[in-house]
Every structure is written in structure tokens, then in C-alpha cells.
Amino acid sequence: MDIIEKLNKLKDHYDAVVSKLSEEEVLSNQDLLIRYSKEEAELKEYAVLYQQYHQLKDDMATYQNLLDEARKNNDQPSAEEILHEMELLKDHEDRLMDKIQTSLLPKDPEEDKDVILEIRAAAGGEEAALFSSNLFRMYMAFADIRGWKTEILSSHDTGLGGFKEVVVSIKGKHVYYHLMFESGVHRVQRVPDTESSGRIHTSTSTVAVLPEMEEMDFEIKTEDLRIDTFCASGHGGQNVQKNETAVRIIHVLTGIAVACQDERSQLQNKERAMTILRAKLYDLEKQKREQEEAKNRKMQVGWGNRSEKIRTYNYPQNRVTDHRIGLTLYNLQEIMNGKIDELIEGLRKYYDQNRREQFLEA
């Protein structure tokens, strides 16, 4: 079945669902109404693309008739003008076909999920911690621009403005879809404030973007967990509470450990730790599946080895480079203020192009 035939069938399905929504049986049944309303919303994209494609074909046929008429009358100026318009329509058709192909690709089951964003200082000591803080503010600004809700689940600051680690919940529309390629090693090149000689230092922080899973979506067996409680501590390790409100959960089978101490109650810290642990365990399984699939796949941008260096932020040159797609931008300050759309769109375009090629080869 070719692409347009698939699109036509989806448009027929959309029309059938719209028809269902006007039936008394559906209107009087709340469950059916919700089900068909959701399906109508999911299919509407294909109805719009169907209309755009067939309107384009009608326009091209109209211009072809005008061209035939101009040539028949030996009207060369009109023929050249019409040919120019037809070239513009052909460019539009190419872009529209790319859009249609992308829309027909299998959807990532996690792309509508909320995420757990984890940022850790890696190589570079305090400068890496400060860079982690910069990345944290960058993603929080991006979330704010998009109207997403953010909440710090766990943090370990240095007391000097940096983060050794910070874990954030981000909720909103298509969060994972936009942030799914941010996982990996982010590198910064700049002169630290403490560097008297003006020498440029290179430091790194790691970012992990994990789709947030509900308990019903990903079960963790209680017997696979070891749960410890302890007193929450502040800068320098001193205890800031007498009660053991902090919680550390260790998944015995994988050795993954999560600790939360920012909340005042042990129950709240435990719930937060379980949310983070569930996302980490699901992500571990996801990586294993993708690595297996990658053996038969040409492209794997954004996943693969999480220790891969994906992006460099060079302050002296006002430059940000994404090494996976070779994209370099010279607006570092805007990017650090949350304007990362161009980076994200570049990655999605590359990813979707590779998926379209695989789709056509299949």
C-alpha cells in the first residue's frame, strides 16, 4: 500500500468516526463519547493532510490546463509565469509529502509522556557543578516558555551555586517528544570565575531524560527493593533534622539506588524516590531493547551510549555545537536562556528523515 493510499484510508476512518459522534447512541453514552472524541482528535491530522494534498493536486491540474492553453496560443510570457508557479507548487508538494510520510510513521509510545530530568556534574569539579546549574536553568526556562509544570524531586547542591545532582519532574504536553534527544554528555568550554590566568577549562555534565511511568504501567516487585531511612543532611553533611525523613531505595537486582531527602515526611520522600526509580528501571529496559533493535537499524540518534558526548557549549566563541547532527549555532546566551527550539527541531528533523528512509525501504 503506497503512502497516499494509506492517507486516503485514514481519511475514510476519520469521516466514519466523525459520523459516529453525531449518533444518538454515542451522544448518550459518556464512555463511547470520550472514546470517539479521542479517536477523532488523533485522526484529525490525517484529514487535514488529505485536504492539503488533494487541494494541491487540483491546483497543479489547473495550472497544467492554463499552461497548455498558453502554449496553444503561443503566449510565451504567460507560459513562463505559469511554469514558475508550477515549480513553487512542486516544492510545496515535496515538503508536504515529507510531512505526510512522517505522520504515517509509527508513533513512539512514550512521546506524550511526562519526564524525569536528571542532571549530574561529571568531570570538572565545582565548575562542572556550576555548569549543571546552568543546564538546569536552561531546561527550566524552556519548560516555562512551553507552559510546562516543573518540580524538583531531589537535589544535591554544592552551596556555591552549583548542583552535584538535580532531579526534576516536568509535566505538560508532549514533554518527552521534545526532550527525548537531550540525554548524554554536555560539555562546556569557558574561563571559570576562579581562574586568574584566563585559561579556558573544559567540564562536563550528564543529562538523562526518562519518561515518567505510572505504577500500573511498570511494576516493581517489593521483594526486589531495599529501603533505608536516614536523617536529612545539609551542606557539609551535617544533619538538619532529628527524624529519619530521608529515604534511600536500592533495586537489588540492578544495583540502582535513589535517595530523596528534600521533603519533610518520610512518605513523601519515599513516593518521590519510587517515581525516580521506576523511570530509571524502565529506561534501562528501554535501552536494552533499543540496542538490540539497533543491530538492524542504520540510525540511532539520541539513545545508544549515554556516555556519548552530544553537545559542546563554548562561551568564548558564543557557540553551541550538537555533534550528532553537526549543527553549530552562535547564540549561546539565548540558548542558555531556554531558547533551544532550533537544536531540538534539528534533531527531530534528522531523526524523522532517517525513520522515513527506513519506512520506505521496509
Cell numbers representing residue 300 in the block: 540511532
Rounded-to-integer distance, Cα 247 and Cα 156, Å: 14
**According to the model, what pLDDT value does residue 319 have?**
96
Distance of alpha carbon 235 from alpha carbon 167, whole angstroms: 18
- For the entire predicted model, the pTM comes to 0.70
Q: How far is CA 77 from the centre of its chain?
A: 50
Please name the amino acid found at residue 343: L
- Report d(CA 13, CA 10) in Å as an integer: 5
DSSP string, 140-164: HHHHHHHT-EEEEEEEEE-SSS-EE
Sequence-separated (6 or more) residues with CB below 8 Å from residue 107? none
Q: Using one digit for the tens of pLDDT, what is the confidence trace for 216-244?
A: 777 788 888 898 888 766 554 444 455 67
d(CA 8, CA 14): 10
Helical pair 76-104 and 341-361, crossing angle rounded to 10 deg: 90
pLDDT tens-digit profile of 112-124? 889 999 999 998 8
Per-residue pLDDT, 22: 92
Q: Return the closest-CA partner of residue 315 out of 342, 286, 335, 288.
A: 335
Selection from 8, 263, 313 nearest residue 134 by Cα: 313
- Determine the pLDDT at residue 238: 46
Nearest to 323 by CA among 205, 207, 187: 187
What CATH number is given for 115-357 in this structure?
A: 3.30.70.1660
Instruction: For 279-316, write each residue's pLDDT tens digit.
Output: 888 888 887 877 766 655 544 444 445 568 999 999 99
The answer to whether the beta carbons of residues 174 and 198 sit under 8 Å apart is no
Residues 124 and 201: beta-carbon distance below 8 Å: yes
Angle at 147 between CA 156 and CA 183, to 5 degrees: 50
DSSP sequence for 6-64: HHHHHHHHHHHHHHHTTSHHHHT-HHHHHHHHHHHHHHHHHHHHHHHHHHHHHHHHHHH
| Helix residue ranges per DSSP H, the chain | 3-20, 24-27, 30-72, 76-104, 125-146, 175-179, 266-294, 332-336, 341-361
Q: Which residue from 174, 170, 103, 157 is spatially nearest to 359, judged by alpha carbons?
A: 103
pLDDT tens-place values along the chain, 362 residues long: 588 888 999 999 999 999 999 999 999 999 899 999 989 998 999 999 999 999 999 999 999 999 999 999 999 999 999 999 999 999 999 999 988 988 887 777 788 889 999 999 998 889 999 999 999 999 999 999 999 999 998 888 888 889 999 999 999 988 999 999 999 999 999 998 767 677 899 999 999 999 988 777 777 888 888 988 887 665 544 444 556 788 889 998 899 998 888 777 888 888 888 888 888 888 888 878 777 666 555 444 444 455 689 999 999 999 999 999 999 999 999 999 999 999 999 998 888 887 777 665 55
Q: Is 268:274 a contact under the CB 8 Å cutoff?
A: no
> Helix, strand, or coil here: 213?
coil
CB 171 within 8 A of CB 187: no
d(Cα 256, Cα 248) in Å, to the nearest integer? Answer: 10
